[in-house]
Amino acid sequence: MEENERKSDALWGGRFEDSPTEFTQAFGASLPVDKRMWESDIAGSKAHAAMLARQGVISQQDADDIRAGLDAVGERIDAGEFEFDIDDEDIHMSIERNLTEAIGAAGGRLHTGRSRNDQVATDARHHAKKLSEGLAHQMLDLRAALLDIANENYGVVMPGYTHMQKAQPVLFSHHMLAYYWMFTRDFTRLKAAYDAADVLALGSAALAGTTYPLDREFVARELGFAAVGENSMDAVSDRDFLLDLAYACSVAMMHLSRLCEEIIYWSSNEFNFIRLSDAYSTGSSIMPQKKNPDFAELIRGKTGRVYGDLMGLLTTMKGLPLAYNKDMQEDKEGVFDAVDTLGNSLVVMAGMIRTMHVNADVMRAGAHGGFMAATDLADYLVGKGVPFREAHAIVGKLVLDCEKQGKTLQELSAAELAQVDEHFAEDAVEAVDIDKVVERRTTYGGTGHEAVKLQLEHAQERLIADTQLLGA
């Protein structure tokens, strides 16, 4: 035998005369990735053993020994005293081998009535629920940070943009709440990913079920699953729940990236709308004056890798026949990366928002540029009986004249407005007052002060409801 070959004690090794080489053993192993699911694997095995004893498939003594042995393995892993051996291939075989070495024949009876196929699917679902819930908690924290800064800066006026051109003035609170609602939808997507994973696969065996009298409903209750898989072939080959989680992560990262984009240009000298904390900025190795929004840029950059995680799994799954295929071993690494990346990004963003200083005066000054009261001036004419299209043309010409004279609409007197059109009276000046422009947006969901105050109340109510939903 070559030096790079060695005999393997793989639990499936009885069928084979030759063992994998050290290289191929490492190439085929998922242990470096799936060992983070050890708690789910132990929980699933304990529930399975309890059910086997309850059904009379194994003795109660065997079940007790298995539970005690699994608890001991878990304590060693938790304490960092467990040695993971790549020969074990995955976390499932690693735990079972250590269990059997510790308690003997009883450990060998644990796998009765199950396959690694349904065991892997169950562990992945159990772990995915925990990951979804953890991200949902972090999403709540970011939403709370956005709600806090919106409340603290209620009444601050800033420019609103379309096409990155100044459009109409809005309240800064309204702008922040737009992101609050985006992340609220992300919370809903994470809850949907949790629900998609909340189905027990154990009991499906390799693909066709088993001849043992298993009580799958009992195992589902023990593990906290809401339902039992209806079809054994689907149960072992379904990875939609991981795609749902990766998709939820991707959309959330997209929303974070949009917010980062605004933070990046808001913090520039050209805008100066906000000042980032030094804790979320870095300097230049050559330019002493620089204060760079690097953490916002990093989140924006990491969005691409999370998209890649989703696309990778979609591509892996697209041509697989029923039922289980080894390709599915590639299902976890990308999803775990997406979850870790989003989780870290949520923590950074929440901290960045909570420590961000809003330059209210600069924002307000910016709201006077760009002729953002033009629509209101056209609406004023409509109120005087002028058709909107005609009013639009009148104000458009007025804006052109102001541009040539280097004036803003607010700098025009009532007399100057009347020279443009006879319908402009003394009260036309109020039509371009920035505060009144904002206040007049009274429609539900608009940027008017009273509308935003109501929106803040609804956002707080929704945050409380979602917090209670998680039992937080």
Fold match between 24-112 and 117-212+224-366? Answer: no
Q: What is the DSSP letter of 447?
A: S
Q: How far is CA 82 from CA 73, 94, 233, 369, 390, in A?
A: 8, 10, 34, 65, 79
Q: Which CATH architecture has domain 24-112?
A: Orthogonal Bundle (1.10)
pLDDT in tens, the chain (472 residues): 344 444 445 555 566 666 677 788 888 889 999 999 999 999 999 999 999 999 999 999 999 999 999 999 999 999 999 999 888 889 999 999 999 999 999 999 999 999 999 999 999 999 999 999 999 999 999 999 999 999 999 999 999 999 999 999 999 999 999 999 999 999 999 999 999 999 999 999 999 999 999 999 999 999 999 999 999 999 999 999 999 999 999 999 999 999 999 999 999 999 999 999 999 988 766 776 768 999 999 999 999 999 999 999 999 999 999 999 999 999 999 999 999 999 999 999 999 999 999 999 999 999 988 788 898 899 999 999 999 999 999 999 999 988 999 988 888 888 988 888 999 999 988 888 999 999 999 999 999 999 999 999 999 999 999 999 998 6
pTM: 0.91
CATH for 117-212+224-366 is 1.20.200.10
Question: Which tokens hold the place of 408?
Answer: 């803003």
Where do the structural domains in the chain lie, given as residue ranges?
A: 24-112, 117-212+224-366
Q: 285: which residues sit within 8 A by CB, 6+ positions away?
A: none
Q: In angstroms, rounded to a whole number, what is the distance separating the alpha carbons of residues 208 and 236?
A: 10
**Which residues does the annotation mark as catalytic?**
163, 284
Question: Which tokens hold the place of 116?
Answer: 């690694």
Question: Which tokens hold the place of 198?
Answer: 């909340």
